[in-house]
Amino acid sequence: MKKTYNINEKGYYGEFGGAYIPEMLYPNVEELRQNYLKIMAEPSFQEEFNALLKDYVGRPSPLYFAKRLSEKYNTKIYLKREDLNHTGAHKINNTIGQILMAKRLGKNRIIAETGAGQHGVATATVCALMGIECIVYMGEIDIARQAPNVARMKMLGATVVPALSGSRTLKDATNEAIRDWINNPVDTHYIIGSVVGPHPYPDMVAKFQAVVSEEIKRQLLEKEGTEDPTYLVACVGGGSNAAGTYYHYLDNEAVNIIAVEAAGLGVDSGESAATSVLGKEGIIHGSKTLLMQTHDGQITEPYSISAGLDYPGVGPMHANLYKTGRAEFIAITDDDAMKAGLDLCKLEGIIPAIESSHALAVFEHKIFKPDDIVVLNLSGRGDKDLQNYIDYFKL
């Protein structure tokens, strides 16, 4: 069999993935597993998905040649402008796909988890669009630090339920969403926000985000006469914008892959979210992957200034890219990310999300050649992070 970095028929990327779920979740997850590929292949699904991506999300997102940034680093930098999507990030690609999936599965109640609130907003948005009930679980601590997104979700008609257990952040919100699904096994679909969770979620979310690399190929061919960049760069929280960026290039090893994780205050500081370096193989939210944990197998709480990168695990696709060496993993600190973010504002007139700023910081950490073509996923815009930027730069 041909070697692939994509998922195998058992739901694994190499040794990572699978569905380590309690029996209570089995019927839900199995129903999805048996149907998702079939549903996605239906012409009517494709048609509706593509139409919404075009007219509602605003796709294709531009592939923008960042001239001044390229001059500064003496290389060719293209930004894939996911920040220009409706709701301000790549997250909507997935929620559009999943809401259409939920409808075809006959579900009339949607649940989601959110950390920073980006995925929560993207989910509340598509639920409003379809007139479906939406419940978003969010850690109590995150609710306090992401007030504008909480308000957005409420305006969009969603119910935001605080996760009061454990560390009261993203991982606990995910636990609460999973518990809700256990308690509501028939009418509810769980829209997971990244390429994490039990199979088939990582694959399904990657396939919905794959539109990103599909467009990159086309757009780059037009601009550079080749579909293949020298490097692809994306930040990795759970890994969905990265999975979308890499998807159509996974098995094309002429294209180098760079995954950027959040180092927080520094990889060895004890306040970090650099899962590949600090994590060990284990099971989180139903997936075998790399995760940050104690010696005894208790999941630990990560830290990053960016709420969207603040997850103790990483999607199984990325665990495999790390383990096999297919991707180069770079960890970027809060400080370096914030500087790179401000730099982009000044050089290109674009205010990036702090998650995306982590990806942008690679140019200070790695020297690219003048004729390298570097395509970087600018996964989101910085509006949601304004307070963070204000506090950090004393604006």
Partner 1 sequence: MNRINQKLEEDKKLLSIYFTAGYPNINDTVSVIENLEKSGVDMIEIGLPFSDPLADGPTIQSSSTKALHNGMTSERLFEQLKDVRKTVSIPLIIMGYFNPMLQYGVEEFCKKCQEVGIDGLIIPDLPVDVYNDNYKSIFEKYGLINVFLITPQTSEERIRFIDSISKGFIYMVSSASVTGSQSGFGAIQTNYFERIAEMKLKNPQIVGFGISNNETFTQATKHAKGAIIGSAFVKHLTTNGVDNIEDFVNTIL
Ligand X SMILES: Cc1ncc(COP(=O)(O)O)c(C=O)c1O
Residue closest to 197 by CA, chosen among 310, 309, 318, 289: 289
Q: Indicate which of ligand X, partner 1, none lies near residue 238 (CB less than 5 to 8 Å, by partner kind).
A: ligand X
Residue 9, interface with partner 1 (CB under 8 A)? no
Kindly identify the residues of this chain, within the stretch 42-101, that bind partner 1 according to CB under 8 A: none
Q: Indicate which of ligand X, partner 1, none lies near residue 89 (CB less than 5 to 8 Å, by partner kind).
A: ligand X
Residue 184, interface with partner 1 (CB under 8 A)? yes
Q: Can you say whether the dihedral through the CA atoms of 192, 194, 199, 205 is positive or negative?
A: positive
Q: Indicate which of partner 1, ligand X, none lies near residue 236 (CB less than 5 to 8 Å, by partner kind).
A: ligand X
What is the smallest separation between the CB atom of 149 and partner 1, expressed in angstroms? 24
Q: Indicate which of partner 1, ligand X, none lies near residue 341 (CB less than 5 to 8 Å, by partner kind).
A: none
Confirm whether 113 is a catalytic residue: yes
State which of residues 238, 286, 316, 341 lies at the interface with partner 1 (CB under 8 A): 286
Residue 277, interface with partner 1 (CB under 8 A)? no
Confirm whether 171 is a catalytic residue: no
What is the smallest separation between the CB atom of 89 and ligand X, expressed in angstroms? 4
Name the catalytic one among 76, 91, 288, 384. 91
Nearest residue to ligand X on Cβ basis: 380
- By CB under 8 A, the count of residues binding partner 1 is 36
* 168-174-175 Cα angle (round to 5): 80
Cβ closest to ligand X, residue 297 vs residue 313: 313
Confirm whether 80 is a catalytic residue: no
Residues recognised as catalytic: 91, 113, 379
